[in-house]
Chains A and B, each alone.
Chain A
Amino acid sequence: MKKLLILMAVTVASAFALQAQKGLNVAKVFQGRYAKMPDAVVTYLTGDAVEKYDLSLYRSLAVTCDAATANEVEQLVLKDGLTATSKETVYRGGRLKFGSFTLPKRNYLNRYLFYVNKDADSGKNTARIVVVYMSGDASPEKVKKLINTGK
């Protein structure tokens, strides 16, 4: 009985990280047609790989796509951004160039969403976009440090 309870506690606690992402509009971005585009780069990390960053989950999509697709992804990000407890957005040429959103906690996990459109002000018909979603215990300061170490 004790072993069963421990097993239940571990599986339920681990599932929280996955559950925290569900319900987000950007979930489609990581699994849907955007992730299957020819030059899409999708990453998915949980557990040991991201534990050192105090994260439970890290997902990203980086892809070069046409402006219409970039706009679709932008809209999905902004929909989720509506519920953000804190946000930072930069627009160029009417397009979202950079978005940083701290989403409401879910299952006791902090959640962060980032968006970059490198070609928002280039006037090109294509755009290189990056979407990153992270959840875990990491504070906003820790996440900021993590982002800066990537530079």
Chain B
Amino acid sequence: MMKNEDIIISDEQLDALIQRYFDAETSLEEEALLKRAVAHREEPRYDEIRAVLGFMAAKRRSVAKKRKRGTTVWLQVAAVAAVAALVVTVGINLTHQATETGTCYAMVGGVRIDDESQVLSLMQSNLGDIGDAASETSMSVESQIADIASVINEAE
């Protein structure tokens, strides 16, 4: 039986544990125990298990590094793809009708007019209609207030 600070395990128990390890029946705690136990054994018959445990530890570290590197790369690719998609979507939406300096057209009875002065003239015509209606409203309100005021004055 070998003792060290924290491992007390008989040869028979260790052999049984090694056998269970090769049968893939050991838990992680048992593997950790196995590792600590064989680290302090000098007998040549434990060389094989020491070599296997050392290889497995190195392989686990390598897989963890690859997974982390893979995740980081994936996130970077996803971020670039998202930015590219945003730029393309907004660009397509904007350039669908727009020219370099903006858009200016009118459709009159189904016929397209691109002449800016004609389009602006139509715009002014619309605004004129709005302005006339707004004036009429304003005059109407003033007229109503005047009517109310005259009634009040008469009452006084």
Q: Which residues of A line the B interface, CB within 8 A? A: 4, 7-8, 11-12, 14-15, 18, 35-36, 38-51, 58, 60, 62, 88, 90, 97-98, 100, 114, 116, 118, 130, 132, 144, 146-151
**Interface SS of chain B:** helix
A-B pair number, CB within 8 angstroms: 129
Q: Closest 10 interchain pairs by CB?
A: A47-B102, A150-B127, A151-B131, A98-B133, A49-B104, A150-B128, A48-B101, A42-B107, A43-B106, A46-B102
Q: Contact at A60–B123, with CB atoms within 8 Å?
A: yes
Contacts of B128 in A (CB 8 A): 150-151
Chain B residues, CB < 8 A from A130: 126, 129-130
Mark contacts of B96-112 with chain A using CB atoms, 8 A cut-off: 1 yes-contact digit, 0 otherwise: 01110111111111100
A150 touches B93 (CB 8 A): no
Q: Contacting chain A: which of B1-9, B71-79, B83-91, B148-156?
A: B83-91
Which residue of B has the minimal Cβ distance to A88? Answer: B137
Which of the residues A43, A47, A90 comes within 8 Å of B123, measured between beta carbons? A43
Q: Are B131 and A4 in contact (CB under 8 A)?
A: no
Of B83, B116, B136, which contacts A49 at CB under 8 A? B116
Q: Given A8-B83, A49-B103, A118-B129, 4 other A-B contacts at CB below 8 A?
A: A41-B108, A46-B103, A130-B126, A149-B124
* Interface membership of B52, Cβ < 8 A: no
Contacting residues, chain A, for B131 (C-beta < 8 A): 147-151
- B residues engaging A (CB < 8 A)? 83, 86-87, 90-91, 93-94, 97-99, 101-110, 116, 119-120, 122-137, 140
* Residue contacts A-B, CB under 8 angstroms, 15 given: A8-B87, A15-B94, A18-B93, A18-B94, A41-B108, A43-B126, A44-B97, A45-B103, A45-B119, A46-B103, A60-B123, A90-B137, A116-B129, A149-B127, A150-B125
How far is it, in angstroms, between the C-alpha of A45 and the C-alpha of B134 when the chains are bound? Answer: 23
